[in-house]
Amino acid sequence: MKHANGRTVTAHLTYGDEYFGLLGPYEVDGGWWSSAAPVVARVAEELGVPVVVLRLASARSGHGGHGGHVVYHVEALERPTAPAPRQAGPEVAALLGPAERRAGWATAAGLREAVDWAGQALDAAGRPPAGRPEQVRTWNLSGLFRFRTADGGEAWLKAINPAFNAREGDVIALLGSADPTLVPPVLGSDPERGRLLLDHVPGEDCWGPSAEEVASVVPRLVAAQAALAADGRAATAGLRDRTLPTLLAHVNALLDRLAAEQGTNGSAPDELPGDLPGGLPEDRLTPGELAAARVLAARLPALVEELAACGLPDTLLHGDFHPGNWRSDGTRTVVVDYADSAFGHPAVDGLRPRRYVDEERWAQIAGVWAQAWRTHVPGSAPERALELVEPLYHLAYAVRYQEFLDHIETSERPYHETDPVSEIRAALACAN
């Protein structure tokens, strides 16, 4: 999951109200559409002025948010001398004009406000910025910028949409109250606008984690989650409710919605199909799949009761606890990225690393996670919880991905268009 091949990009260039046409195509390194740095570097080299990527305008081919040909809206931070400005045609004007649900950091004004806020926060912390920040990542879920500071250090600005994401600064404070070594240092937080300023965490993201990194981070997260469950702080922290009974309501609402959108009632067959048909459209369930999902949904209350019998408490969930969100310098491992945090069953976090690691490492992670929970909750059955939770895990992510789609503008839907259906299919495969 760490690397992707390159992509071909073109860029609609603006400076304020002026339009300078379409630049490219360029071949750039790093295939992930959200990776802004190589696009910024290539366009800035062409123009001789600094630029930022505001957003994805369209994507053709590619898959899963990487590769293929991608079109961006790029804003120059200084007026370019060439090419000459021109009149945007109606189609381009509509593409670059205002849109419903556009992220704040995907507009020139909103991006400037976020960067200015971070600069002021760094000044207040006695670490003023040294030069312009570097745009690292931008997409419908977040914008990420690296600041060099006058003391020779680094800091990171993250912008998210507060309408459907956790208040990351608050989550970090809560988890840090249980284990301050587990979380990154916060330099500033503006939860109402979804802005967070973090101190730099040394090391590398743990794609392909070592045994030592697993042994460092997994038991510490479990210990913190167990502590926050035991003293009640997780339950009263105002986290998004993703407890399993609440999740069931969201799953049924999602299936109702898909049935209405696809024009089928999804009436249930007697049994789940043994084999799902191949060659299916990626963003639509067949009537048979939808009916099978209804059968699965009807069985979920009993599954929730079985999970409850495993004895693990609801607690703070990281929400995306894969190794790419672990960061280690070889001596200390820190967990980052809390936008998906919620209150729910810890086995959802426990299962998350599996798709990102090989079987040997997954066996270690599962064993370490289970042993940690047995230590903190004697008599619990964490191994059984990991087995039982899998369909609910996939359905939880189907619900979450639909939240993404409901809160992002149309041009950026290709990032997640197929994800809810893909997760429902994964849940059906588990049930079989």
pLDDT single digits (tens) 190-224:
999 999 999 999 999 999 999 999 999 999 999 99
Going residue by residue through the chain, which has 432 residues, state the pLDDT in tens, using 9 for 90 and above: 444 568 999 999 999 999 999 999 999 988 899 999 999 999 999 999 999 999 999 987 767 788 999 999 999 999 999 999 999 999 999 999 999 999 999 999 999 999 999 999 999 999 999 999 999 999 999 999 999 999 999 999 999 999 999 999 999 999 999 999 999 999 999 999 999 999 999 999 999 999 999 999 999 999 999 999 999 999 999 999 999 999 999 999 999 999 998 876 555 444 444 434 444 456 789 999 999 999 999 999 999 999 999 999 999 999 999 999 999 999 999 999 999 999 999 999 999 999 999 999 999 999 999 999 999 999 999 999 999 999 999 999 999 999 999 999 999 899 999 999 999 999 999 987
Element (H, E) at 403: helix 390-407
Instruction: Specify whether the CB–CB gap between 67 and 4 falls below 8 A.
Output: yes
Q: Does 311 map to a domain?
A: yes
Task: Encode pLDDT of 360-405 as tens digits.
Answer: 999 999 999 999 999 999 999 999 999 999 999 999 999 999 999 9
Instruction: Specify whether the CB–CB gap between 349 and 389 falls below 8 A.
Output: no
Which positions ≥6 away from 160 have C-beta within 8 Å? 141, 142, 168, 194, 196, 339
Question: Residues 68, 112: one domain?
Answer: no
Instruction: Specify whether the CB–CB gap between 303 and 327 falls below 8 A.
Output: no
Question: Residues 117, 41: one domain?
Answer: no
Question: Residues 211, 341: one domain?
Answer: yes
Among 60, 80, 97, give the residue marking a domain's end.
97
Question: Residues 183, 115: one domain?
Answer: yes
Q: What pLDDT score was predicted for residue 277? A: 41
Question: Residues 44, 193: one domain?
Answer: no
Q: What is the CATH number of the domain that holds 386?
A: 3.90.1200
Q: Does 66 map to a domain?
A: yes
Range of the domain at 123: 106-199
Question: Residues 144, 21: one domain?
Answer: no
Least Cα distance to 258 among 135, 396, 418 occurs for: 418
Question: Residues 309, 371: one domain?
Answer: yes
> H helices of 206-352, where?
211-230, 244-262, 287-308, 347-351
Among 63, 97, 131, give the residue marking a domain's end.
97
Among 71, 97, 123, give the residue marking a domain's end.
97
Question: Residues 158, 234: one domain?
Answer: no
Question: Residues 110, 87: one domain?
Answer: no
The DSSP line for 3-19 is: ----EEEEEEEEETTEE
Q: Does 31 map to a domain?
A: yes
Question: Residues 237, 352: one domain?
Answer: yes
DSSP letter at 34? Answer: T
Cα separation, 245 vs 301, in Å, equals 8
**φ, ψ of residue 315 in degrees (nearest 5):** -160, -175
**φ, ψ of residue 350 in degrees (nearest 5):** -60, -35
Q: What pLDDT score was predicted for residue 112? A: 96
Question: Residues 221, 344: one domain?
Answer: yes
67 by DSSP, 3-state: which?
Answer: coil
Q: Does 222 map to a domain?
A: yes
User: In one letter, which amino acid is 199?
Assistant: D
The count of residues in the chain is 432
Q: What pLDDT score was predicted for residue 62? A: 63
Question: Residues 146, 78: one domain?
Answer: no
Question: What do you get for the CA distance between the two ends of the chain, in Å?
Answer: 27
Tokens of 45: 């080299």
Instruction: Specify whether the CB–CB gap between 251 and 300 falls below 8 A.
Output: yes
Q: What is the CATH number of the domain that holds 127?
A: 3.30.200.20
Which positions ≥6 away from 296 have C-beta within 8 Å? 272, 391, 427, 428, 431
Q: How many domains does the chain have?
A: 3
Q: Does 267 map to a domain?
A: no
Q: What pLDDT score was predicted for residue 268? A: 43
Rg (CA), the chain: 23
